[in-house]
Copies of this chain bind each other. A is one copy, B any other.
Amino acid sequence: MAVFTALDEDELAAFLQAYGLSSDATRTPLEGGVSNSNWCLDFGILSPALVLTVIEPPIARSELDFVFAFQRHLDAKGLPLAAPLGRSDGSLWGTLAGKPALLSPFLPGTVAVAPDSRQAGQMGELLARMHLDAADFTPRRSNPMGLPDMAAIVRRLDPLAIETAVPGLAADLASAFSEALDDWPQGLPAGAVHCDLFPDNVLFAGPRLSGAIDFYFSCTAPFAYDLAMTHAAWCFTPGDSVFREDVSAALLDAYARSRALSSGERAALPLLARVACLRILATRLRDWISPPEGASVTAKHPAEFAQRLRFYSGDRGARAFAP
């Protein structure tokens, strides 16, 4: 349940007025979402339903402009997502309860808990289109969770606590970090990417991908890194992290049909997938070992991505990305 902020009716009315909207809407809290508060606003059967989002920390306000502009850019290209609506003064967000707040169209759909190859194919196509469409998007944002950031998080953790959480992981982390820092591929095609396309952030309405959400980690990074991150997030069974070759093939084939991968990108994918695992492991280990104060969301166990890191370090991981 993701409603952390109480709304003041007068303040909400003023907020909606900035969009030219009346406050005469039915309001339903929306479940899901890890850190923001979301409500569905319904203005009657003839008007499109909207989602009101109040952004909770930690994203800096200065970074929201990049995130929202990127969504508007992709929306203008016809990609399925819920881009923030513009206000009467042209801005894309306002303030509620002292926090950034925005309206976007309500996207119908539910997440695919264990995506199948058909769903992964749609994901691959969307990801490739996003990367192609990023070509003429010029704003830049450095990765808020880049290699130095993850390494800093892991360095602050007690190695004994890491070993207790996942035996053998401390050594795996050390070697993966040193390899990534030494061998990080230079010169790969880069641009604005989503960088957090977990199955929880993609909605399906029936058999059909209805949209990507939660662009708050979007930043400027190699496209292949975004693909590797999506691969690490989609191509394993939830819980026991068994590799799903059919899902992997569907994701990569659909991607490559829309955007060809260079040989440099193909060669970099196993390492980039290991870095994607490191990125998830860093925050999951941190939240597992020292849960954030007042956390209402159950911490996810780091073991899942420890297994995926090992997968991408072996032969099968390398073969997964072969053409």
Given A26-B118, A108-B109, A118-B26 in contact, is the A208-B42 Cβ separation under 8 Å?
A: yes
Beyond the given A46-B78, A46-B79, please list 20 additional residue pairs across the A-B interface where CB-CB is below 8 A. Answer: A26-B118, A28-B206, A30-B206, A30-B207, A40-B206, A40-B207, A40-B208, A42-B122, A42-B208, A45-B79, A45-B80, A45-B122, A45-B125, A45-B126, A45-B129, A46-B129, A49-B207, A106-B206, A106-B208, A108-B206
A209 sits at the interface (CB 8 A): yes
- A284-322 to B contact mask, C-beta < 8 Å, 1/0: 000000000000000000000000000000000000000
Subset of 10 A-B contacts with CB under 8 Å: A28-B118, A30-B207, A42-B122, A45-B79, A45-B209, A46-B129, A108-B109, A108-B208, A108-B210, A205-B205
Residues on B with beta carbons closer than 8 Å to the beta carbon of A45: 79-80, 122, 125-126, 129, 209
> For chain A residues 4-59, which have a beta carbon within 8 Å of chain B?
26, 28, 30, 40, 42, 44-46, 49
Interface residues on A, range: 20 to 34
A215 to chain B, nearest CB (A): 17
Residues on B with beta carbons closer than 8 Å to the beta carbon of A30: 206-207
Count of this chain's copies in the oligomeric assembly: 2
Given A45-B125, A46-B129 in contact, is the A106-B205 Cβ separation under 8 Å?
A: yes
A-B pairs, top 8 by smallest CB distance, nearest first, are A108-B205, A108-B108, A28-B207, A49-B208, A45-B125, A40-B207, A45-B126, A46-B78
Residue of B nearest to A128 (CB): B45
Residue of B nearest to A28 (CB): B207
- State A26–B30 Cα separation when bound (angstroms): 31
